[in-house]
Amino acid sequence: MISHRLLLSAAVVPALMALSAAPAFAETLKVVASFTVLADVVKQVGGDHVHVTSLVGPNGDPHEFEPSPADAKNLKAAEVTFVSGEGLEGWMERLITASGYKGKPVTVSDGIATRTMEEDGEKITDPHVWNSPVNVKVWVANIEKALSSADPADAAAFKANAEKYTKTLDELNAYAHAKFDAIAEDRRKVLTSHDAFGYFGREYKVSFLAPLGLSTESEASAAGVAKLIEQIKSEHVKAYFFENSNDPRLVKQVAKATGAEPGGELFVESLSDAKGPAPTYEKMFRYNVDQLAAAMAKSS
């Protein structure tokens, strides 16, 4: 008579062998991104295979960011870290040193056709590349490559997500062109807080005038503001916008002197929180396009 113990073993052994042969579940990658716009794009490519932490939070200013001990802890634990680059994250090297992070951040803007601008008599690279979805397509390719290198088992998923999101970016670009191409070029002029819309302006032929340069840390001179006021008057700029991550007082002061009307708030360097109008890059870009186009159409 065969014992119950032997029957049990006969049933259990194949089951155990099947379990041992089953593929191990891939772990979720711990990823850090420097600011919310980039963090969202990384999430779109990484999907369920990444856990993304943004160092700069919603409505935060990446120029004036002051990292905390919690940020140092998150960075040290990261398996992959992403920065935009081109001088945006001036604080990153200090944070890497303070945290003891051993990796090298992936610069997602590598390969973008950057534009230069003049600030305080010097030519510098404009870091605000994400305000054109054409540039964000380069981000997506660089993010996919880095995630696939860190987690080859999920490379097919990253590729599929990247292809899907690239189509979304093409749709955003077409959406913006449809809006602005219908407005006369001499009406595509607005006043904003600082010079962060250069790539947007280049793509859609919109002129942005601003009292501050590329960084919100810079200070506007009295002579510079006076010159800007005269320019706004002579070019008949009708609308001004302030930014979710910056102090609006200076732009309001300039607007008051010129008679420009408020067009609303733009999300330039930071997403809103989940309850705001711009919790993702896609929503942020559409929102900005709608706000700007509405103000220009009103002034036509």
Calculated CA dihedral for residues 245, 246, 248, 251, nearest 10 degrees: -120
E strand or H helix at 96: helix 92-99
pLDDT tens-place string over residues 215-272: 444 455 566 666 666 766 666 666 767 655 455 566 566 667 666 666 777 888 899 9
Q: With 80 as the cut, is the pLDDT of residue 40 above it?
A: yes
* For range 135-150, the mean pLDDT: 98
Q: Terminus-to-terminus CA distance in the chain, angstroms? A: 96
Task: Give the single-character DSSP code of 171.
Answer: H
Beta bridge partners of 295: none
What single DSSP character describes residue 152? G
Phi, psi of 164 (to 5 degrees): -65, -45
pLDDT tens digits along 62-82? 988 999 999 999 999 999 999
- Provide the pLDDT for residue 104: 95
The rounded distance, in Å, linking the Cα atoms of 74 and 142 is 22
Read off the amino acid at residue 15. Answer: A
Task: Kindly indicate the confidence band of residue 199, based on its pLDDT and cuts at 50, 70 and 90.
Answer: very high
- In the prediction, which pLDDT does 10 show? 47
pLDDT(24) > 60: no
Average pLDDT, the chain: 83
Q: CA nearest 157: which of 46, 50, 81?
A: 46
**Lowest-confidence segment of 117-121, 175-179, 238-242, 266-270 by average pLDDT:** 238-242
- Stated pTM of the model: 0.81
Q: Which domains occur in the chain, in start order?
A: 29-166 (3.40.50.1980), 184-299 (3.40.50.1980)
Q: Catalogue the E-assigned strands of 34-167.
A: 50-54, 80-83, 106-107, 116-119, 122-125
